[in-house]
A and B are shown apart, each in its own frame.
Chain A
Amino acid sequence: MKGFSLRGLRELPWAAFAGAIVLLLAGTFAALYEDALYQSQRAQSALGQARVLAASIPAALSFGDREAVQEYVRPMEVNPEIAAIGLYKKNGRLLTGFVRPQSQPLEPRVSESMRRAGQSDLVEPVVEHGTALGWVYLRLSPEPWTNRVSRYAVVVLLALMAVFVIAGLGSAQARLRRQSESLAKANLRLEEEIQGREEVEAALRQSQKMEALGQLSGGIAHDLNNHLMIIKGNLHLLKKKLGLAPDDRHLVGADEGINRAAALTQRVLSFSRKQALSPVEVDLNELIRDMGDLIRNSLRENIAVERNLNSTRRVRVDRNQMENIVINIVVNARDALPDGGKVTISTRDLDFNDGDSRRPFVALEISDTGIGMTPEVQGRAFDPFYTTKPVGQGTGLGLSTAYGFVTQSGGDMRIRSGVGQGTAISIFLPAQLRRETRNG
Chain B
Amino acid sequence: MALLKSPRAFGISLCVALLAATSRALPDTPLEDAVKATYVYKFAPFVSWPAPLAANEPFVICNMGGDRVSALLPGITAGQRIDNHPIHVRAVAADGDLSACRILYIAETADPHSALEVLRGKPILTIGTAQGPYVIQLVTIARHVSFDIDDRLASENGLRISSKLLDLARKVERAPGTRP
Q: Which A positions have Cβ atoms within 8 angstroms of B? A: 56, 58-60, 62-68, 71, 89, 91, 93, 95, 128-131, 133
Nearest Cβ on chain A to B124's Cβ, whole angstroms? 17
- Indicate if B12 sits at the interface (CB-CB under 8 A): yes
**Of B15, B46, B83, the contact of A58 (CB 8 Å cutoff):** B46
Distance A133 CA – B164 CA, assembled complex (angstroms):
13
CB closest chain-B residue, reference A132? B81
Distance A64 CA – B35 CA, assembled complex (angstroms):
11
Beta-carbon contact of B168 and A60 below 8 Å: yes
CB closest chain-A residue, reference B147? A63
Provide 16 A-B residue pairs closer than 8 Å at the C-beta atoms, listed in order of the A residue.
A58-B45, A59-B164, A59-B167, A60-B168, A63-B12, A63-B39, A63-B42, A67-B8, A68-B167, A89-B15, A93-B17, A128-B162, A129-B46, A129-B48, A131-B45, A131-B81
Most buried by B among A65, A128, A131: A131
Residues of B within 8 A of A71 (CB): 8
Most buried by A among B11, B46, B81, B82: B46
- Indicate if B51 sits at the interface (CB-CB under 8 A): no
Main secondary structure of the interface of A (DSSP, over half): mixed
Residues of B within 8 A of A89 (CB): 15, 17-18
The 6 closest A-B pairs by CB, nearest first: A64-B15, A130-B83, A128-B45, A59-B164, A131-B45, A67-B11
Residues of B within 8 A of A93 (CB): 17
- Indicate if B25 sits at the interface (CB-CB under 8 A): no
Q: Which B positions have Cβ atoms within 8 angstroms of A? A: 8, 11-15, 17-18, 21, 39, 42, 44-46, 48, 81-84, 162, 164-165, 167-168
Given contacts A63-B39, A63-B42, contact A128 B13 (CB under 8 A): no
CB closest chain-A residue, reference B15? A64
Distance A65 CA – B165 CA, assembled complex (angstroms):
11
Beta-carbon contact of B15 and A131 below 8 Å: no
Beta-carbon contact of A131 and B168 below 8 Å: no
Nearest Cβ on chain A to B47's Cβ, whole angstroms? 8
Nearest Cβ on chain B to A225's Cβ, whole angstroms? 146
Beta-carbon contact of B21 and A91 below 8 Å: yes
Nearest Cβ on chain A to B49's Cβ, whole angstroms? 10
Q: A59-B165, A64-B14, A129-B48 are in contact. List 13 more A-B contacts (CB 8 A).
A: A59-B46, A59-B167, A60-B168, A63-B39, A63-B42, A64-B12, A64-B18, A65-B168, A67-B8, A67-B11, A89-B18, A91-B18, A130-B45
Beta-carbon contact of A128 and B81 below 8 Å: no
Distance A130 CA – B48 CA, assembled complex (angstroms):
12
Residues of A within 8 A of B21 (CB): 91
Distance A63 CA – B15 CA, assembled complex (angstroms):
8
Residues of A within 8 A of B167 (CB): 59-60, 68
Distance A158 CA – B86 CA, assembled complex (angstroms):
64
Beta-carbon contact of B8 and A62 below 8 Å: no
Residues of A within 8 A of B12 (CB): 63-65, 68
Distance A179 CA – B12 CA, assembled complex (angstroms):
90
**Of A59, A64, A67, the contact of B162 (CB 8 Å cutoff):** A59
Beta-carbon contact of A129 and B168 below 8 Å: no
Residues of B within 8 A of A131 (CB): 44-45, 81-83
Distance A130 CA – B8 CA, assembled complex (angstroms):
27
Residues of B within 8 A of A56 (CB): 164
Most buried by A among B8, B45, B82: B45
Beta-carbon contact of A65 and B11 below 8 Å: yes
Nearest Cβ on chain B to A136's Cβ, whole angstroms? 15
Distance A130 CA – B15 CA, assembled complex (angstroms):
24
Distance A59 CA – B48 CA, assembled complex (angstroms):
14
**Of B11, B45, B81, B84, the contact of A68 (CB 8 Å cutoff):** B11
